[in-house]
Amino acid sequence: MSQSDIWTEKYRPGKFEEVVGQHEIIKRVSSLVQALNIPHMMFAGPAGTGKSTLALVVVKALFGEKWKDNYLELNASDERGIDVVRQKVKDFARTKALENIPFKVIFLDEADALTREAQQALRRTMENYTHTCRFILSCNYSSNIIDPIQSRCVVFRFRLLEKKDIVEIVKRISEREKLKLTPDAAETLYEVSEGDCRRAINLIQATASISPDINSEMINMIAASAKPAGVRVVLDYALAGDFINARDKLLEVMLKDSISGTDLIKIIQKEIWNLQIEPEIKVRLTEKTGEAEFRMTEGSDEFVQLQALLASFVLAGQGKST
């Protein structure tokens, strides 16, 4: 068993209180589970916010030690065709549960990756086997799920975790694993993970393999992300009218930290709102950042687009229209 598998097994969720940051959803779902009768449910929201975790908690609360016999999990991004729905899903759904609960549970992860034909077949399966099976669908974008399926489900919308939620999870893991985190390490984990709990945990695991004493610098090294301080220097040079130094510092950040242009421009976009400039200028620069990012995704040269963006910062610093 790999180290990653050991961590996964050790922290496999089993109780509702282990899911953090989604208090209203937990309250509503737990009340449904206590009644021993859940509807079809859809968990929609960003990655790493607890959707799959909550599905496991629901099944364990319903079936106890027999949960594996009454639970089928499929990742729709791997198995997304109509044959999966017609064979695996239907075969599992038509059989009765082995416990006192009158239904089994099928969890379709990344259900928004299912093809339209598969979703139409799933729609009929959900309707025909309601008495023997309940579906929990997880997706990042509920708009990619057809309306007939959405209308058959109770939709729960997850949100990105806040800083206090990430800190709580980090503290819990560090205590169990006997890790020592500096005060700024948890802050850095939150900034790098951007509210994605899965990414935060993976960063802790990767950093802990180097040393049990974790600091902010180690996390940034593992995450391979540009330090906001370095980006701030680039922007300060540009706003001061020093385009050459701004360009050289930008190149240094990209080469030294191996940061792609698309990743760097996201950091610039966030840092704009920390600059000591007028709100109107911040709005215009944000617009320019979006234009540069669009050109990059269309195939334009990253460094050329970033230089053009820095030129906009220089003009803004001189009070000229961008």
Query: Is a pLDDT exceeding 80 seen at residue 279?
Result: yes
Residues 202, 310, single domain; the answer is no
pLDDT confidence bin for 41, thresholds 50/70/90: very high
Q: How far is CA 229 from CA 59, 96, 101, 249, 286, in A?
A: 45, 58, 55, 12, 19
Residues 266, 234, single domain; the answer is yes
Residues 137, 150, single domain; the answer is yes
Residues 243, 260, single domain; the answer is yes
Q: Cα–Cα distance between 272 and 293 in angstroms, integer?
A: 15
Q: Is residue 57 part of a domain?
A: yes
CATH of the domain at 141: 3.40.50.300
Q: What is the pLDDT of residue 224?
A: 64
Q: Which of 123, 140, 157 is the last residue of a domain?
A: 157
Query: Is a pLDDT exceeding 60 seen at residue 2?
Result: no
Residues 169, 141, single domain; the answer is no
Residues 60, 73, single domain; the answer is yes
Q: Is residue 292 part of a domain?
A: yes
Query: Is a pLDDT exceeding 60 seen at residue 288?
Result: yes
SS3 per-residue string spanning the chain: CCHHHHHHHHCCCCCHHHCCCCHHHHHHHHHHHHCCCCCCEEEECCCCCCHHHHHHHHHHHHHHHHHHHHEEEEECCCCCCHHHHHHHHHHHHCCCCCCCCCCEEEEEECHHHCCHHHHHHHHHHHHHCCCCEEEEEEECCHHHCCHHHHHHCEEEECCCCCHHHHHHHHHHHHHHHCCEECHHHHHHHHHHHCCCHHHHHHHHHHHHCCCCEECHHHHHHHHCCCCHHHHHHHHHHHHCCCHHHHHHHHHHHHHHCCCCHHHHHHHHHHHHCCCCCCHHHHHHHHHHHHHHHHHHHCCCCHHHHHHHHHHHHHHHHCCCCC
Query: Mean of the pLDDT values across residues 232-254?
Result: 87
Q: How far is CA 21 from CA 18, 93, 158, 192, 295, in A?
A: 10, 32, 9, 18, 36
Q: What is the pLDDT of residue 7?
A: 41
Query: Is a pLDDT exceeding 60 seen at residue 297?
Result: yes
Residues 66, 84, single domain; the answer is yes
Query: Is a pLDDT exceeding 50 seen at residue 83?
Result: yes
User: How many structural domains is the chain composed of?
Assistant: 3
Q: What is the pLDDT of residue 321?
A: 60
The phi and psi torsions of 30 (rounded to 5 degrees) equal -65, -35
Q: What is the pLDDT of residue 81?
A: 64
| Domain that residue 193 falls in | 163-223
pLDDT confidence bin for 133, thresholds 50/70/90: confident
Q: Is residue 133 part of a domain?
A: yes
CATH of the domain at 261: 1.20.272.10
Residues 64, 174, single domain; the answer is no
Residues 79, 131, single domain; the answer is yes
Q: What is the pLDDT of residue 79?
A: 63
Q: Is residue 123 part of a domain?
A: yes
Query: Mean of the pLDDT values across residues 145-160?
Result: 90
* Candidate ranges 206-220, 245-259, 289-303; pick with highest mean pLDDT: 289-303
Query: Mean of the pLDDT values across residues 292-318?
Result: 88
What percentage of the chain reaches a pLDDT higher than 70? 89
Q: Is residue 301 part of a domain?
A: yes
The model's pLDDT over 13-40, given as tens digits with 9 standing for 90+, comes to 557 777 878 888 888 888 888 888 888 9
Query: CB of 174 within 8 A of CB of 180?
Result: yes
CA 17 to chain centre: 20
Query: Mean of the pLDDT values across residues 53-71?
Result: 87
Q: What is the pLDDT of residue 14?
A: 59
Residues 113, 127, single domain; the answer is yes
What percentage of the chain reaches a pLDDT higher than 90? 5
pLDDT, the chain, mean: 82
Q: Which of 171, 195, 223 is the last residue of a domain?
A: 223
Q: Is residue 27 part of a domain?
A: yes
Q: Is residue 322 part of a domain?
A: no
Residues 286, 304, single domain; the answer is yes
Q: Which of 157, 185, 203 is the last residue of a domain?
A: 157
Query: Is a pLDDT exceeding 60 seen at residue 1?
Result: no
pLDDT confidence bin for 187, thresholds 50/70/90: confident
Q: Cα–Cα distance between 48 and 201 in angstroms, integer?
A: 10
Residues 206, 247, single domain; the answer is no
CATH of the domain at 217: 1.10.8.60
Query: Is a pLDDT exceeding 60 seen at residue 108?
Result: yes
Query: CB of 165 within 8 A of CB of 53?
Result: no
Token pair 């607890």: residue:
50
